[in-house]
C-alpha cells in the first residue's frame, strides 16, 4: 500500500505551478512568468511549497551565461545557448509539501530553509541534505536570505581562523555575504574594516564594523595598511594590489565577485585562477572556499541567529512577478544586502 507522502507526491506532480523561466541567455528581459508542470521528485528529494526566495549574484551569472568560460567549465549549470535548468533561483524558505520515496528526514508540513533548484517559483525541489528547520521565530523572508550568503560568509570568516584581536578587512561588506561576514567576524572578537559605498557607511557601522572605508574616495590597497585577513567579495582589484595589504603569514580569501556585463569572457575567474597559480610563491595563504549549503551548516547558521550573533539584512522584497526587476536591481544598483522574492 502506498504511503501518504507517496500519494501526496503523485498528487502534486499532477498539478501545475508558476515559475520564472528562461530559454536563452540574456538580460532580465529573457525571464518570463510561466505556468508549467509541478517539478517531479527523485527518491531522495522533497518538494517545497515556496514562501520566499532570495536573489544571488549566481542567478544573474547563470541568467546571462557569464563569464563565457563558465559555460565550458560548469556543464551542470550551463549549456552553450542557455541554462541547464529553465527556472532561476536556489535560496528557498517554505513548507515541505511532498517527499520522495527514500526520504525519512522530512515530512509534509515541515517548515524549512536551504537550497533548492528553481526556487523562483511556487514549488521547488531540494535535496534532503541541503535543508534545515526554519529558525524559531524567524519569518520565511528572513530565512530565505540566509542559505547561500550565510554559508559563504561563514566559510570566508572561519576558513582563515583569525585570532581574537586580529585585523580583518572585508571588501564588499554591504552585500548579502558581506553584511553577514561583518557580523560573524565581530562575533570572533576581531577588528573589522568594512569597504562599502557612501550610502552604506552607516549600515556597516550598525553591523559592528570598527572602521569603514568609502571606496569612492579611498582605495584600501593604496593606504599603506596591512591586515591579518583580507576577504575580497568583489574581485575588483588585481592580485598585485591585494598582496600589498595582506600581512606575511596572514590570509587572502577570495569569493565570487564580478559585475554584470564586465569581463564577460573570464570575469572574476581571472583573479581566482591567477591567485591559484601564484599561491605557492606568496607569503600568505590564499583561500577560495566553495559554498554549498548543508543541513549541518544551515543548522549552525540557525544557532548563530538564535544567539543574536547573526541577522540577515533585507534591502527590499518583491513579488514573484517582479523577479526580473529584482535581478536587474541587484545587477545595476549594488543592492544593500539581500533582495527577497515573496511567493506566498
Model confidence pLDDT, tens digit, residues 114-148: 999 999 999 999 999 999 999 889 999 999 999 99
Here the cell at position 249 is 603569514
**Cα 39 vs. chain centroid, distance in angstroms?**
23
Short-list 201, 153, 197, CA closest to 178 = 153
Cα–Cα distance between 104 and 110 in angstroms, integer? 12
Q: Bridge-partner residues for 32, per DSSP?
A: 21
By CB atoms closer than 10 A (0-12, 13-18, 19+), residue 86 is: middle
The verdict on whether omega for the bond into residue 67 sits within 30 degrees of 0, i.e. cis, is yes
pLDDT value for 158: 96
Here the cell at position 169 is 578587512
**Cα 229 vs. chain centroid, distance in angstroms?**
21
Domains of the chain, CATH where assigned: 4-146+312-342 (3.90.180.10), 149-287 (3.40.50.720)
Here the cell at position 207 is 553591523
- Give start and end residues of each alpha helix (H) in the chain: 4-13, 57-64, 68-73, 140-144, 147-158, 176-187, 201-206, 239-242, 269-278, 295-306, 323-333
pLDDT value for 336: 84
Q: Bridge-partner residues for 252, per DSSP?
A: 230, 286
Give phi and psi for 230, each to the nearest 5: -120, 120
Task: Please list the pLDDT of the chain residue by residue as tens digits (344 residues).
Answer: 445 444 444 444 458 999 999 999 999 999 999 999 999 999 999 999 999 999 998 898 899 887 677 666 677 777 878 898 999 999 999 999 999 999 999 999 999 999 999 999 999 999 999 999 998 899 999 999 999 999 999 999 999 999 999 999 999 999 999 999 999 999 999 999 999 999 999 999 999 999 999 999 999 999 999 999 999 999 888 888 999 999 999 999 998 766 555 446 555 666 666 677 777 888 999 998 888 899 999 999 999 999 999 999 999 999 999 999 999 999 887 778 999 999 97
- pTM equals 0.89
Helices (H) and strands (E) in the chain, counts: 11, 15
Report DSSP state, residue 85.
S
Helices 147-158 + 295-306 axis angle, to 10: 90
Q: Does residue 133 come out as left (phi exceeding 0), alpha (psi in the -120 to 50 range) or beta?
A: beta
Amino acid at each position: 500500500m502506498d504511503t501518504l507522502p507517496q500519494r501526496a507526491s503523485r498528487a502534486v506532480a499532477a498539478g501545475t505551478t508558476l515559475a520564472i523561466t528562461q530559454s536563452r541567455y540574456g538580460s532580465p528581459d529573457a525571464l518570463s512568468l510561466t505556468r508549467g508542470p509541478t517539478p517531479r521528485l527523485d527518491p531522495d528529494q522533497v518538494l517545497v511549497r515556496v514562501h520566499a526566495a532570495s536573489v544571488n549574484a549566481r542567478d544573474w551569472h547563470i541568467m546571462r551565461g557569464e563569464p563565457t568560460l563558465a559555460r565550458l567549465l560548469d556543464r551542470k549549470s550551463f549549456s552553450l545557448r542557455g541554462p541547464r535548468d529553465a527556472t532561476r533561483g536556489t535560496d528557498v524558505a517554505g513548507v515541505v509539501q511532498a517527499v520522495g520515496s527514500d526520504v525519512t528526514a522530512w515530512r509534509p508540513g515541515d517548515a524549512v530553509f536551504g537550497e533548492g533548484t528553481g526556487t523562483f517559483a511556487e514549488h521547488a525541489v531540494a535535496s534532503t541534505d541541503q535543508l534545515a528547520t526554519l529558525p524559531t521565530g524567524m519569518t520565511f523572508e528572513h530565512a530565505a536570505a540566509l542559505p547561500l550568503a550565510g554559508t559563504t560568509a561563514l566559510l570566508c570568516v572561519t576558513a582563515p581562523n583569525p585570532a581574537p584581536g586580529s585585523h580583518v578587512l572585508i571588501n564588499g561588506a554591504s552585500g548579502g555575504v558581506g553584511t553577514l561576514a561583518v557580523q560573524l567576524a565581530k562575533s570572533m572578537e576581531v577588528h573589522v574594516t568594512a569597504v562599502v559605498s557612501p550610502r552604506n557607511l552607516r549600515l556597516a557601522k550598525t553591523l559592528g564594523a570598527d572602521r569603514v572605508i568609502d571606496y569612492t574616495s579611498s582605495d584600501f590597497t593604496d593606504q599603506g595598511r596591512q591586515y591579518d585577513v583580507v576577504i575580497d567579495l568583489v574581485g575588483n582589484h588585481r592580485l598585485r594590489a591585494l598582496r600589498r595589504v595582506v600581512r606575511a603569514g596572514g590570509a587572502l580569501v577570495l569569493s565570487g565577485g564580478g559585475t554584470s556585463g564586465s569581463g564577460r569572457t573570464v570575469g572574476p575567474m581571472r583573479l581566482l585562477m591567477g591567485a591559484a597559480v601564484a599561491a605557492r610563491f606568496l607569503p600568505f595563504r590564499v583561500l577560495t572556499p566553495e559554498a554549498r549549503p548543508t543541513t549541518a551548516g544551515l543548522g549552525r547558521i540557525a544557532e548563530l541567529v538564535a544567539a543574536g550573533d547573526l541577522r540577515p539584512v533585507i534591502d527590499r522584497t518583491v513579488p514573484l512577478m517582479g523577479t526580473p526587476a529584482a535581478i536587474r536591481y541587484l545587477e545595476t544598483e549594488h543592492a544593500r544586502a539581500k533582495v527577497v522574492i515573496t511567493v506566498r
